[in-house]
Structure 1
Amino acid sequence: MAETVFFNRDLSWLGFNERVLLEASKDTVPILERIKFLSIYSSNLDEFYRVRMPVLMAVDEHVQDIDSTGNYALAKAEINRQQEQFGAIIASQILPQLAKQDIHWIYNKPIPSQITDQVVNLFFNEVLAYIYSVCIDKDLTDFFAENNKLYQLVILKDTVGAERLELINIPSESLQRLYALDHDGHKYVVFLEDIIKYNLSYLFPNDTIMGVFNIKITRDAELKIDNGLEGDITTVLERQLETRDFGFATRFLIEPGIPLRNLYRLIYSLKLGRASIVEGGRYHNLKDLNSFPLNGEEFSYPKWPSLSSILISEKDTLFNLILKQDLLVNVPYQSYDSILRFFNEAANDVYVEEIYTTLYRVANNSRIVSALMTAARNGKKVTALVELKARFDEANNIKWAKQMKAAGVKIVYSSIDLKVHAKVALAKRVISGHEEFIGLMATGNLNESTARFYTDQILLTSHQPMLKELEALFGFLRKSKKAPSLEDQIDFKHLLVAQFNLQHRFIGLIQREIDNAKEGIANGITIKLNNLEEKILIAKLYEASQAGVKIQLIVRGICCLIPGQVGLSENITVTRIVDRYLEHGRIFIFENGGYKEIFMGSADWMNRNIYSRIEVCFPLYDPKLREIIMKIVNLQLQENAQESIYKFLKDTNTI
């Protein structure tokens, strides 16, 4: 199949980020939410530079993968275009709308005289204790510019005309980034770096300030871990984390206007020769806009209180309810309390003897982990499969793993080259010698913090055949240090598990729709994913489209499939959703001649999910729950999806 039938992975990632940026341009979105979308865009772009740019730079240097040749230049061009769009949204839309509310954001302009007294007081009373300066001369300096930290380059001339460069840190990690100041009832918002810039003459009283420019350096974030490592994995990872922010620079972000001689001098002194030099605006690290100092309900989305989805009488338990019927929680629309209660009951139920769970991204103050430690202290056998390689969550997961181990929880780590990304938990009860399982399977992390703004589905079930398969999977994970061999194979009839049967089963499900289309039997495929990249599965969807199967895709982020191409994908549509919540659930619906099969789970269709992770997708059997998921997915294919879903679930009777 020709390579042109697959859209570029990195440009698709950047395309999703542009969708985030477009939300900031919508007049229908409240002003504070628009500013937060700008923050999300900036944060996403930082991650792209930390994670993907090192790869593209390496490919550009060595050209080992012909599919990626030139992607570095294409990505840079797209980023530059989006950055111009970012600045235009602030200048032409955000600032005027704030001004109408008598809120004056001092952006790319001098501090007005009305508030200079307050700015000086702030500098001396709050800021001065946290800043330092470093002289950059023509020789190498020992100073190391930290990852994603803000600095000001100050160009000075002394009394005899000699020029020198000074770097000043912008202590945004210690102080707030934006300050709200009031004068005669008018509100002003000022950047920390502008407060420092206004007071520079105090720091350099005997010099002439020739120029002041904001800069930032982004460094490679990938951990260099291989199968040859020696020692305990937590110790190795902790050493790696200590050096993560000291990787090579991938981006040197500068405010325009730095004289070339000074720029080259800075690049040489800070060892930034490999970095991509990017001219941005005056302000960097605009992910800090997520704490923009603007109060008032009229500036934000109307509140959607979490809905109760499961009603339990005071004399009953959640476990008893699960034993009677499957339950489904749709977060963040519905309360996460029942998920916390699942672990709390498992920790204290007199019949529960064993608990198994996977942990990929754990909340900073995880009540789930606290329940697991309580269970171990209560004498239950608790096994937690902790993924230490969850990017940017490694340190938090290590912290919790140590605490759980100290409490008596058996900790199992995945192998270096095989992540455990599945979101599952299992409680094993023994009543009069009879084993009984109660399980939890989800599309998202077991994390009560992200459950407030990630849309996910969580199934609570006592389907014994399916949960016995889950027990078998935990048995494999508990003892294995690598991908399954032939002797490790498990006969999964209900679950779809990456490394075992997931890709093969999905191909078979698509093929059945192809066969039904050829026979004139009802057919169709609807799939919701975060990312779609893996070429074998994309090729199978193309084959289904060519056979006449109608395919509806909801893809939040990366999408390498090209829809609507005559003779290839004219029967495929792709919907993208960017709204107040982050779409995160994975749902797979196959028409199956009118007898729909519905699966949900942790697996995107990316190379990493299919080939180097343990993922679990699970069937949805309960007719009532199937109707709810079908309604949600149908709403997601329409405009104003999240508001409509909230209203639908609010009107749906609780269990």
Structure 2
Amino acid sequence: MSKRFVQRDISWLYFNERVLKEASNPQLPLLERLNFLSIYSSNLDEFYKVRIPALLAIDQVIAKKENKPDLSNALVEIEALIQQQQELFGSTLAVILPALEQKGIKFHYKEKNIPTAIIPEAKAFFYQHLLAYLVCIPLEKENKSFFPVNNQLYLLLQTSSKNETAYYIVNIPSNKSDRFFTFKSASGHTHILFIDDLIKEFIGDLFNNETITYAGSFKITRNADLQLDDEYEGDVLEEIEKLLQHRNSGLATRLLHAPDFPAEALKQLISFLQIKNANIVQGGFYHHLSDLNQIKINDDTLYFPKWKYTQHFNEKLFDTLSKKDILLNTPFDSYDTVLQFFNEAAFDFNVSEIYVTLYRVAKKSAIVESLISAAQNGKKVYVLIELKARFDEENNIKWAKKLKNAGVKVVYTKANLKVHAKTALIKRKEKNTEIFYGIFATGNFNETTSKFYTDHILFTQQKELLEELHLLFRFLVHKDITAKDLNFRKLLVSQFLLQEKFFSLIQQEIENAQKGLPAEIFIKLNNLEEKKLIKKLQEAAEKGVRVKLIVRSICCINAEFHSNISVRRVVDRFLEHGRIFLFHQNGNPQIYIGSADWMNRNIYRRIEVCVPISDPEIKKNIINLMDTYWADDIQGVQLAGNGSNTFSSSFHQKGFSAQMRLQSLLNEKNNE
């Protein structure tokens, strides 16, 4: 029998490989291909900041127990996979750069000298702009004041003077300046250079009696996972703010350096930084290539065509919802309907209370501004904001303070629990009766990410669903009821029978299969890791249930465990983010959408909400959407038993793209 599980981090690396493969797609505009390289690089940096520290910690525990100093097999495999991907990164870039040059865009990459024709402008930029941000640190044992910032770029300079060698560290100020110098020459050609190369070229003029014999880039990646004690009982906002101050001073997990670093220079650097236990990784000549997304050229042919968002409503949303439920599929549908929901609620004289969960908020959030206006208009506004949303903590703290100052009741979750649910609830008085209106979504209330994440948003006035949601808000916000008072019959809420309900739905399919009835489970997720649910899916497959899975990222189920299991991954222009759970139920499908991936953290340590879909037309649309994704043979790939991507002959060729088809279908529907 095949092994049941794929190691989580190996699976994630294969997902990042799939992102990297998108950069090699010859059908994509050139700067969009560069953007996929940027996404790959950003993902890998986060992997080193968050996952590698965890793996190293586990490795150290195992080493102590077994007296085995070598790296674990998982870490060895991880390093090998990353090395292969870095080579693919380089070869992909080597194809994109000549193609850009054919369009009159010269990206100077790994060139020893700056072209003579642009030296005057480049030198002026160095002296007038870059030099203001540069700090030069000698590598001297007595110099204890320097501490390399997490993910900050640096150059190591090796100098020679009177047969003596010295070393200096100079920052590359990409956090204060654009990473690239762009100049359009008189001939009409656009030149793009890394500021790294400008510093290398001109900084030698500032060393009076020393000659620079080597200049190479490096960066330190540190453990950036905030560890808030599960039993912490104090002010969560205050504690998160304190922890954020230490994020950039966490344990060094990786030293990434240029491939031509002299051995002695590397030895001196490791000693000076005191990072002997970090992974020493030979990278490319440039690091932090997530900055590639900063390159902007005024040429529409280099980018995706502008997306045509479908607008739905030009009447009051509450009037529409009193007649029927609405399901938005963003970004194919405009996110403006969500904004309209909050805007109407903020001003409507009949609205008395607004509840919302916020996880990742846009930096400029029209939704939060609506909530502030609602409070100023006399509504009771309750916001449950998650301060522990990784890498969004500072932004969420900013909005939390602004909301509080406006009179909004802001609630933070406990240290050992995240509220990841994407829900909103409005209480409105109609004909002397209090009516609820609500939103259940698969994605955050974030108008920025809505433009490039695919998500599903249900607007409803269904009484039973919203009364249960109100109970959940009472438990989380008002705390006037306890967990014992919560009895969810319709909603699936983690911590309250979500896992058990999914077990029950899978079991029903098993029983139908054993009776000879059609039985199928069709699920679309971001991540699949939780072992009990995986085992239940495998049991279903063994007993005759067809199990179809679309998993964007981490997928720990062995896709070859049984022939009844098929797993696909779709990576395209928009990040697949929606979670859909479809159970055949002998031709009467039961469908849920919601915030919950099937990961340990979602099932056991978060509040997640999944909502049943009852409207026949919406059910039909969701089934069509799922079938559309399953048929994607251009952007979709099969997963193999070891978690790797299996590319078909039609991959990136002519065929069927789900995202393009969905936009086309919605345009057709709205033009009827």
Residue 551 of structure 2 is aligned to residue 555 of structure 1: yes
Contact persistence 1:178–1:293 (CA under 8 A): no
> Equivalences for 1:478-517 in 2 at 5 Å?
478-479=477-478, 488-517=484-513
Query: 1:137-177 deviations in whole A, cap 9, x for unaligned?
Result: 2445310111111111000012x221111111111122111
1:96 pairs, out of 80, 95, 98, with 98
Residue 57 of structure 1 aligns with which residue? Answer: 56
Matched, 1:599 2:592: yes
- The CA deviation at 1:525 is 1.1
Deviations 1:611-641 (A, max 9, x none): 0000000011111111221121111112211
Q: Which amino acid aligns with 2:173?
A: P
Deviates more, 1:596-605 or 1:271-280: 271-280
| Structure 2 equivalent of residue 608 of structure 1 | 601
Deviation string for 1:377-428 (max 9, x for gaps)? 2222211111110001111111111111121111111111111000000001
In the alignment, structure 2 segments of 5+ residues that lack a partner are: 633-656
Aligned partner of 1:255 in structure 2 is: 258
Q: Following TM superposition, by how much is the alpha carbon of 1:69 offset from its aligned partner in structure 2, in angstroms? A: 4.7
- Unaligned stretches of 5+ in structure 1? none
Any idea what SS the aligned residue of 1:579 has?
A: coil
Q: Is the 8 Å Cα contact of residues 213 and 282 (structure 1) preserved in structure 2?
A: yes
Partner of residue 586, structure 1: 579
* 1:106-505 to 2 correspondences below 5 Å: 106-110=108-112, 111-158=114-161, 160-183=162-185, 184-229=187-232, 231-308=234-311, 310-313=312-315, 317-479=316-478, 488-505=484-501
Which residue in 2 is equivalent to 1:642? 659
Query: 3-state SS of the aligned residue for 1:293?
Result: coil
- Listed one character per residue, the Cα deviations across residues 561-585 of structure 1 (whole Å, up to 9, x for unaligned) are 11133xxx21111111111111000
Q: Which residue of 1 aligns with 2:641?
A: none
Shift of 1:240: 0.7
**Paired position in structure 2 for 1:39:** 38
Match among 511, 531, 540 for residue 535 of structure 1 = 531
Q: How many angstroms does 1:479 deviate by?
A: 4.5
The Cα of 1:114 is off from its aligned counterpart by 2.6
Would you say how many aligned residue pairs link Structure 1 and Structure 2?
Answer: 641
User: Counterpart of 2:446 in 1: which secondary structure?
Assistant: coil
Distance 2:199 2:625 in 1: 50
Q: Which amino acid aligns with 1:349?
A: D
Deviation at 1:4, TM superposition (A): 3.0
Structure 1 residue 552: Cα displacement: 1.2
Q: Distance in 2 between matches of 1:394 and 1:200?
A: 37
In angstroms, what is the RMSD of aligned CA positions? Answer: 1.9
SS in 2 for 1:63: helix
Aligned partners of 1:141 and 1:270 also within 8 Å: no
Q: Corresponding residue for 1:524?
A: 520
Q: Is the 8 A contact 1:545 1:572 kept in 2?
A: yes
Tell me: CA distance 1:560–1:489, structure 2 relative to 1, closer, same or farther (3 Å). farther
TM-score, length of structure 1 as denominator length: 0.95
Distance 1:153 1:399, change over 3 A: same
- The amino acid of 2:38's aligned partner reads S
CA contact (8 A) 2:347 2:374 kept: yes
How far apart, in 2, do the equivalents of 1:359 and 1:341 lie? 17
Identical pairs, percent: 47
- CA distance change for structure 1 residues 654 and 340 in 2, over 3 Å: closer, same or farther? farther
Range 189-198 or range 98-107, more displaced? 98-107
Once the two structures are superposed, what CA deviation does each residue of 1:287-334 show, in whole Å capped at 9, x if it has no partner?
A: 0001113331111112212111x2234xxx111111110011111111
Read off the aligned partner of 1:129 and give its amino acid letter. Answer: A
Q: Deviations over 1:432-464 (max 9, x none)?
A: 542211001100001111111110010000000
Secondary structure of the equivalent of 1:137?
coil
* Kept in 1: contact 2:580–2:591 (CA 8 A): yes
Q: CA deviation at 1:480?
A: 5.0
TM-score (norm 2): 0.93
**Cα distance change, pair 230–493 in 1 and its aligned pair in 2 (3 A):** closer
Residues 40-49 or 100-109, more deviating: 100-109
| Cα shift at 1:59 | 0.8
